Amino acid sequence: MAEKTLIAPDKRRGFLSELLHMFSSGDWATRLSFFVMGFGCLLRHQVIKGLLFLASQALFIWYLIGFAWQYLSKFNTLGTIGMHREWSEARQIYVRTPGDNSMLILLFSVFSILVLIGFLGLWRASVRACYKAQRHHQAGVRPPRFMEDIKSLVNERFHGTLLTLPTLMAFAFTILPTIFMILIAFTNFDADHQPPGNLFTWVGFENFANLFNLKGGAATAMGNTFSGIFGWTMVWAVIATFTNYLFGMIVAIMINQKGIRLKGMWRTIFVITIAVPQFVSLMLMSQILHDQGPLNTLLKQWGFIEQNIPFLTNTLNARITVLVVNLWVGIPFSMLITSGILMNIPRDLYESASIDGATPVRMFFSITLPYMLFVTTPYLITAFVGNINNFNVIFLLTRGGPLVTEYYQAGKTDLLVTWLYKLTVDQQDYSLASTIGIFVFVISATLSLLVYNLSGSARKEEEFQ
């Protein structure tokens, strides 16, 4: 035990303090390992490990000089030379010559910075390995051989082996694209600045100022659009979440009541709406509710109306329509989730309440609803965030319409996510769309963490009162 304590690294130290400690208490070989990776391991007969560390350093230097530096050196400007015409002596004509590509400069710069961070972690591991080999040498203990280290990767350090590939994939397909898209919000990357023909550059917080209408002038329409769409997005998310949740719970309670026959049939009817692809149902509803669609035609033929009802072309009607149609596609999910939970509520709670003279309504609000909220708060948070980003219902029903002139490239039923889609696909205004994406993320993350930490699900995980 004393020997293990002697050679084990001090995990209580921070990153910098640990490095300073290893440099100050290390011998000349360990100190030289700060500059030549794996030198201490090579000196103390850990040849393969030392060579691997040394090869990693050489490979990183080659990558930095041979590839990364050409992009990192232009990261502060995102390029200075656009596509231009040059005289070709061989062809005796002017030819278009590509210049810098701002998108590649930004992308490969971010990638290179992440590689640098990964290399720093590998460099620290190299220094620790050399320092540990020194401690083994001072204690008169043979340093572990390379095959022993390999065996430890499938035994006591097997968790690190399993997590290595998922971590690399997370950096490549999640962290890198996220950082890249966040940085786009601080540029002027739009339809007029499309690489490689045209460069885009850093503009700081200009997009945020335009979005929040801090500059006035031409940005007023953009700011008014953001405030209007943000307000409707929050109203939509709250109503869509709680109406689906409440009505789904009521349907589940009705089906689970004693005396209800054909329970399986009722559940099957609701599950069918889940089995049918959502986009099929929504596109069908869009055609049915069209101004000249089947519903208006039948209502006119039956004499209920004289003029077509603008279900999707009037602002108020369109917003009510999308909320009602969302019930059709959302209630079955809530019903299935709440059905299983309802069966687990202790029956003695209801029996005691019944003896005390509580009505069914009182029992619902005093027992059923609190218990459901206690258990399903994480689901409600997920549903709320999902409704903030509910692209399908809005886009497939109304495509964000009806369009109005006071909005910038948006309609009255657009959510922030559908407006972002239009700015990206239709207008190619990537910088503004990225700014909106950041704001959506901040809203979703803040509300999710705040609501969950204030809920009983987080404060009283082990009990229900």
Pairwise CA distance, residues 288 & 308, whole Å: 12
What pLDDT is recorded for position 10?
53
Q: By the 8 A CB rule, do 418 and 391 touch?
A: yes
Pairing state of beta strands 84-88 and 93-97? antiparallel
DSSP-derived 3-state class of residue 203: coil
Pairwise CA distance, residues 317 & 330, whole Å: 20
What pLDDT is recorded for position 214?
61
Angle (CA) 405-406-407 rounded to 5° is: 90
Residues 193, 194, 198, 201: what is their CA dihedral angle, to the nearest 10 degrees? 50
Pairwise CA distance, residues 427 & 158, whole Å: 49
DSSP-derived 3-state class of residue 343: coil
- H helices present in 140-192, as ranges: 146-152, 158-170, 176-184
Pairwise CA distance, residues 240 & 234, whole Å: 10
Pairwise CA distance, residues 324 & 321, whole Å: 5
CATH of segment(s) 217-459: 1.10.3720.10
DSSP-derived 3-state class of residue 72: helix
Specify burial of residue 387 (Cβ count, 10 A radius: 0-12, 13-18, 19+): buried
Residues 30, 36, 40, 43: what is their CA dihedral angle, to the nearest 10 degrees? -130
Cα 209 to chain centroid distance, Å, stands at 24
Q: By the 8 A CB rule, do 75 and 64 touch?
A: no
pLDDT tens sequence for the chain (465 residues): 444 444 445 555 677 888 898 999 899 999 999 999 999 999 988 899 999 999 999 999 999 999 999 999 999 999 888 776 776 667 767 666 778 899 999 999 999 999 999 999 999 999 999 999 999 888 888 888 888 888 888 888 888 888 989 999 999 899 999 999 999 999 999 988 888 888 999 999 999 988 887 665 556 788 889 999 999 999 999 999 999 999 998 888 888 877 778 877 888 888 888 888 888 889 999 999 998 999 999 999 998 888 999 999 999 999 999 999 999 888 888 888 888 888 888 888 888 888 888 888 888 888 888 888 888 888 899 999 999 999 999 999 999 989 888 888 899 999 999 999 999 998 899 999 999 999 999 999 898 888 888 776 666 655 555
* Residue 197: both structure tokens together: 């023909």
The per-residue DSSP string of 101-145 comes to -HHHHHHHHHHHHHHHHHHHHHHHHHHHHHHHHHHHHHHT-PPPP
- Cβ count within 10 A of residue 126: 25
Span(s) in the chain for CATH 1.10.3720.10: 217-459
Q: What is the end-to-end Cα distance of the chain in Å, rounded?
A: 48
Query: Does the predicted TM-score (pTM) go above 0.85?
Result: no
Pairwise CA distance, residues 139 & 133, whole Å: 10
Q: By the 8 A CB rule, do 254 and 339 touch?
A: no
- Cβ count within 10 A of residue 321: 21
Pairwise CA distance, residues 346 & 342, whole Å: 9
What pLDDT is recorded for position 1?
40
